[in-house]
Amino acid sequence: MKKFRVIVPIIIIVAVTIILVKILMPGKTSIQEKILNKSNSNIITNTLLVNNDNKLDENYKPHKSDVPNIPFIDNATDEEKQMEEVASKAVEKLFKEAKEEGIDFLGTSAYRSYETQKEIYTKKVISDGLKKANEYVAKPGHSEHQTGLCIDVTNKDRWFVGSTKEAIWLAENAHEFGFIIRYPLGKEDITGKSYEPWHIRYVGKDIAKKIYENDSTLEEYIASKN
């Protein structure tokens, strides 16, 4: 009986501990499972944070991809022309409006698989060294291109720097179509990447407008919501 009285409290303590652990530290849900949850798929997909600290699984692919009806550079691969469907439709509108205002864009690279990013990163390290590679090229699994929600663009001169008319137009108007300049100038310590005026990321019109008006980043927006 004495032994029984000792064991019962121990069992109770263990059971309570397990319950508390499950409540305070719920099991992680994979990114794929979250995206496929139809009740909040758009919110999670559009604000999916991928950076140096947040990695995608090597098997991750866009939930529903499409090829936007926009001009691409000649050497863009079929893979690179793919985008998440909602982002694809949005970038079509962006290109159309820009052209009507005398701005001509060309798509260079949208979706990239884990393996493709691995090849690009490895080649950059070999050619330019590890430090330079990490400034501009994401490690495999840490690239937004794997989400299908972003696209790199250029102009006819293939010279897309912040002072060009195309880059200025993009910075001032991308949010109207649900895109943000993902790696803005002066935010390198937050994004972990050097300034890229050519890289736009789809987050939806409402969020893009807030990020644009606050001169912030996706990291800052998400932090403000937590």
Query: What are 18-50's pLDDT values in tens digits?
Result: 322 332 233 333 333 333 333 233 445 799 999
DSSP letters along the chain, please? -HHHHHHHHHHHHHHHHHHHHHHHSPPP--HHHHHT-TTSHHHHHHT---BTTB---TT---SSEE--SS-B-TT--TGGG-EEHHHHHHHHHHHHHHHHTT---EEEE----HHHHHHHHHHHHHHH-HHHHHHHSPPTTS-GGGGT-EEEEE-TTS---TTSHHHHHHHHHGGGGTEEEEE-TT-HHHHSS--EEEEEEE--HHHHHHHHHTT--HHHHHHHH-
pTM: 0.80
Residues belonging to the active site:
196
At 116-156, the pLDDT tens digits run 999 999 999 999 999 888 888 999 999 999 999 999 999 99
